[in-house]
């Protein structure tokens, strides 16, 4: 087959051109210092936050562990690069195997590599590192001493486990209270096992417990144990209650017994009680949870003429179990997912939507539920829906329904996946009046010293968001227990590469920076000369990179098993396969290391004055690879122009 070639001239300039035709105005007064081929400006080395890290709710040092995987940053002697990268990653997130599978990866949406061809497969590398650590039996290092302070963590979901992990690393004694039989929260009871294999989840939870974290399971604070009792026994409390109560459909007839919430449905499935559903299942939603419900329903199928006691709604509500012996006779279910949004506007992951479509799930996008129609026995027989337009006006969702377009979808089971709610039974004093809790930027509950909160109890969002809340809350709790004033959180609140720590790790002498060193520090040994860590305040955009350095390189995509409707029935195997080591390294090499040197040598090669030179190996580290001889430098700014990562910026030299 011959290819069609478009011979028309390009209408847009290449993205990597720093200056465009007609650009002849100064952007700022400081730029007027330039004069012909030289200037009084000289290169400075400025570490910025890459957009991937700034987009990661758990604050992972993504650029850092990708640099280790690609070989730019070297591990200490005797440490495998995989372990070193995993330890860098887990400084923020103790669940890389789980999150590498299920996180919707906002980091990839923000990736500057999208301006070249396609984002870096950050999730795929995280998945590889997480599985490597489990395979090698890697664990966290328990602190040598204990502070003697005791912290209660209420809720064993991602927020609570993250907080417990960070507190245990700081030497505090932590006890997790959870009303369930096992830890994991929504990772266990809200996401099906074919997306988060339970042995993987168990392994990552066990590492946290191995730090000495205690548990009190099947214990609900507010009913089994009073909150006052907890506060008397412990020095601080973290409330990671989660939002595991679903929201019913806000339409007439929604109180029918076979209208259930998504959280109750998934809980029954993940408990192993729900073995089959009705022949016709309708799911109302549009987010990841609704896709999970729909794909689970497709796998469970239905049983002809089930016993009355085995009706799915009775199993979901009463917490009994269906007869497993009947499973062999199950047949496929007709599953329909309705959403007020179009498919393009749904919040669910696109690849999960694609899988659902491939499995034969029918989407009625742009339709709103109007009424649940019921039979003489009170059970729902169908759902009436109508065409609608949905849009957000500020934080509020407005839906305009066209009643004249109403249609009816027959249903044996209707599942509402339109949101979650917090159960404040016994804890009413913490409800902010809107069904959630309030907290400041350190996640401390206002007016309640020593009480912190995080996760869905603040705002239902991503699992990785809850993990980030747990980390920041642990920082606040630690300061509270030490009697210190709460710190002001940085604008870009993430884990970032620490140059001084890296120098100390290599055995280089680290001197404290004298107060008079503001600029002109080329002769100092305490850090890189004219080095500025602005990663807490500046996210580097693609315009500050030299994109012309990067060649087209296709992304290494993980193998995913796509099932048909027939293949999905009864198939609960994992669909996502991790990258092998070679492909994980190849993918890490696609990282453009935005805002940090990745040792490409462009500045050394292109400097016409030979002013930029490599630091001697015995004194060099990541981020301290090149130096500038300011006696030779004329400020021609070529080094800054050819720096692919934007690490070199032109600043005032002495």
pLDDT, tens digit (0-9, with 9 covering 90-100), for 39-53 = 567 888 899 999 999
- Statement: 246-418 belongs to CATH 3.50.50.60: yes
pLDDT of residue 397: 87
pLDDT of residue 318: 77
| 367 membership: H or E segment, kind and range | strand 367-374
pLDDT of residue 522: 59
Q: Choose among 588, 639, 621: nearest CA to 111.
A: 588
Q: What is the DSSP letter of 601?
A: -
**Residue 391 to residue 407: CA distance in whole angstroms:** 22
pTM of this structure: 0.90
**Residue 221 to residue 40: CA distance in whole angstroms:** 65
Residues 6+ apart with CB under 8 A from 442: 452, 472, 473, 475, 476, 479, 486, 487, 489
CATH superfamily for 150-243+422-481 is: FAD/NAD(P)-binding domain (3.50.50.60)
Q: What is the DSSP letter of 208?
A: H
**Residue 68 to residue 306: CA distance in whole angstroms:** 56
What residues in the chain have per-residue pLDDT under 50?
1-14, 29-30, 32-36, 517-520, 653-654
pLDDT, tens digit, for every residue of 339-373? 999 999 998 988 899 999 999 999 999 999 999 99
Query: CA separation (Å) from 583 to 64, 86, 286, 384?
Result: 18, 17, 33, 49
Residues 6+ apart with CB under 8 A from 453: 238, 239, 240, 241, 430, 437, 439, 443, 445, 469, 473
pLDDT of residue 3: 38
Query: CA dihedral in degrees (99, 103, 106, 111; nearest 10)?
Result: 60
pLDDT of residue 27: 59
- Which residue spans of the chain are classified as CATH 3.50.50.60? 150-243+422-481, 246-418
pLDDT of residue 1: 38
pLDDT of residue 8: 40
pLDDT of residue 491: 94
pLDDT of residue 315: 87
């Amino acid at each position: 087959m011959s290819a069609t070639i478009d011979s028309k001239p390009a209408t847009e300039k290449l993205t990597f051109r720093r200056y465009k035709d007609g650009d002849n105005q100064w952007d700022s007064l400081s730029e007027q210092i330039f004069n012909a081929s030289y200037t009084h400006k000289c290169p400075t080395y400025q570490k910025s936050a890459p957009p991937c890290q700034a987009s990661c709710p758990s604050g992972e040092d993504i650029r850092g562990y990708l640099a280790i995987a690609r070989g730019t940053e070297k591990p200490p002697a005797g440490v495998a690069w995989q372990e070193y990268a995993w330890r860098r990653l887990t400084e923020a997130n103790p669940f890389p195997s789980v999150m590498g599978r299920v996180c919707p990866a906002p980091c990839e949406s923000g990736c500057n590599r999208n301006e070249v061809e396609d984002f870096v497969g950050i999730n795929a590398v995280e998945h590889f590192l997480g599985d490597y650590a489990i395979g090698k039996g890697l664990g966290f290092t328990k602190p040598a001493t204990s502070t003697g302070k005791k912290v209660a963590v209420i809720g064993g979901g991602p927020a609570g486990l993250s907080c417990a992990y960070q507190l245990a690393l700081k030497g505090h004694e932590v006890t997790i209270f959870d009303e369930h039989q096992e830890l994991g929260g929504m990772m266990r009871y809200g996401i099906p096992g074919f997306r988060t294999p339970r042995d993987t989840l168990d392994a990552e939870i066990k590492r946290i417990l191995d730090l000495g974290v205690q548990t009190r399971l099947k214990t609900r604070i507010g009913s089994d144990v009073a909150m006052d009792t907890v506060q008397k026994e412990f020095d601080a409390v973290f409330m990671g209650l989660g939002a595991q109560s679903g929201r019913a459909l806000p339409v007439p007839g929604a109180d029918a017994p076979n209208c259930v919430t998504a959280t109750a449905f998934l809980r029954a499935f993940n408990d192993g009680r729900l073995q089959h559903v009705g022949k016709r299942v309708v799911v109302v939603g549009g987010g990841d949870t609704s896709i999970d419900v729909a794909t689970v329903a497709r796998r469970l199928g239905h049983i002809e003429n089930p016993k009355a006691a085995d009706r799915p709604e009775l199993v979901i509500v009463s917490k009994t179990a269906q007869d497993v012996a009947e499973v062999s006779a199950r047949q496929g279910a007709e599953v329909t997912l309705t959403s007020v949004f179009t498919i393009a506007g749904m919040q669910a992951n696109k690849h999960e939507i694609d899988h659902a479509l491939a499995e034969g799930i029918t989407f009625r996008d742009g339709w709103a539920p109007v009424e649940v129609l019921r039979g003489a026995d009170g059970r729902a027989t169908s759902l009436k829906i109508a065409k609608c337009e949905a849009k957000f006006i500020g934080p509020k969702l407005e839906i305009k329904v066209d009643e004249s377009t109403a249609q009816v979808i027959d249903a044996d089971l209707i599942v509402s996946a339109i949101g979650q709610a917090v159960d404040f039974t016994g804890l009413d004093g913490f409800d902010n009046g809107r069904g959630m809790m309030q907290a400041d930027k350190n996640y401390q509950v206002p007016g309640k010293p020593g009480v912190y909160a995080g996760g869905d109890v603040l705002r239902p969002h991503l699992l990785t968001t809850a993990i980030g809340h747990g980390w920041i809350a642990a920082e606040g709790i630690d300061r509270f227990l030490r009697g210190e004033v709460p710190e002001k959180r940085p604008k870009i609140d993430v884990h970032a590469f620490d140059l001084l720590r890296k120098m100390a790790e290599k055995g280089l002498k680290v001197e404290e920076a004298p107060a008079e060193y503001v600029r002109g520090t080329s002769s100092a040994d305490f850090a890189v000369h004219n080095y500025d860590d602005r990663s807490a305040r500046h996210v580097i955009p693609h315009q500050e990179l030299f994109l012309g350095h990067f060649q087209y390189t296709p992304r290494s995509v993980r193998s995913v098993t796509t099932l048909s409707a027939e293949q999905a029935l009864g198939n609960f195997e994992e669909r996502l396969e991790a990258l092998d080591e070679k492909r994980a390294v190849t993918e890490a090499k696609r990282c453009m290391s935005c805002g940090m040197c990745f040792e490409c040598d462009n500045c050394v090669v292109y400097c016409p004055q030979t002013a930029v030179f490599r630091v001697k190996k015995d004194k060099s580290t990541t981020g301290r690879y090149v130096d500038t001889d300011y006696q030779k430098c004329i400020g021609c700014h070529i080094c800054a122009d050819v720096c692919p990562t934007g690490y070199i910026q032109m600043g005032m030299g002495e």
